[in-house]
Amino acid sequence: MSGLFRLARRHRRIPEQSQAAIDATGLESHHVSRYYVWRRGHKRHPRFRWPKLTVVCDTKTHLWLGAYVCMGPCQDSPQLPPAVRQAVANQPIDELLGDKGYDAEHNHRLCREELGMRATIIPSRRRHSSRVWPTTPYRREMKRQATRRGYGQRWQAESAFSRHKRRLGATLRARTWIMQQWECLLRVLTHNLMLLAA
């Protein structure tokens, strides 16, 4: 997919460096939605599992720079490293935005020290009391209001997910887990091609 981004940069369809937002969404693995089952009254049904797609989204173009597929429900933070590494291999990223689910000092260090990003804006989760400041440097920095300027653009990732599901639907056609992973990655490629062709 790196060739696709080289072509996009050559034709100035994407900035030389991106402000990116990371977020995740769940996709339906069956045509009967979880909401329908809940409305039918099956509240004691075993906990649902669903394919979870994590993407790094360019906030200006809504192109998906990197993606990672796993099975949800699960914590968001472990999906940041593989998704961001793939994104940086495809497109230089200047600033990464993420919600509190990605709050971890090692995620900040990976992005800034190893991958060379100028800034990561991932607010710290509250633990016990909001007056207790984190002890690690990057998470402590997130407590200062000035460092979170620009965080409002994180919603662009959610907007990209909304557009994707309106165009391609929220239900996967594949039934086995391996094929569902392939289908999710093909959806990422299709999403990008549709935006570049528009």
In tens, the pLDDT along 19-35 reads 999 999 999 887 666 66
In a domain, 35, yes or no: no
Residues 79-120 have pLDDT tens digits of: 999 999 999 999 999 999 999 999 999 999 999 999 999 999
Domain membership of residue 129 (yes or no) is: yes
pLDDT of residue 125: 78
CATH of the domain at 186: 3.30.420.10
Question: In the chain, how many domains are there?
Answer: 1
DSSP letter for 46, please.
Answer: P
Q: How many residues does the chain have?
A: 198
Determine, yes or no, domain membership for 43. Answer: no
Examine residue 40 and state whether it is found in any structural domain, yes or no. no
Q: Does residue 43 carry a pLDDT above 60?
A: no
Dist CA 163 CA 167 (whole Å) = 6
Task: Identify the band that residue 142 occupies on the pLDDT scale cut at 50, 70 and 90.
Answer: confident
14 within some domain = yes
Closest CA to 22 of 95, 90, 104: 95
User: What is the tens place of the pLDDT at every residue in 150-170?
Assistant: 788 999 999 999 999 999 999
Question: How does 157-175 read in b/e, with b if 16+ C-beta sit within 10 Å?
Answer: beebbeebeeeeeeebeee
Whether residue 55 is contained in a domain is answered as yes
The answer to whether residue 37 is domain-embedded is no
Which residues span the domain enclosing 159? 2-25+49-197
Q: How confident is the model at residue 143 (pLDDT cuts 50, 70, 90)?
A: confident
Is 162 inside any structural domain? Answer: yes
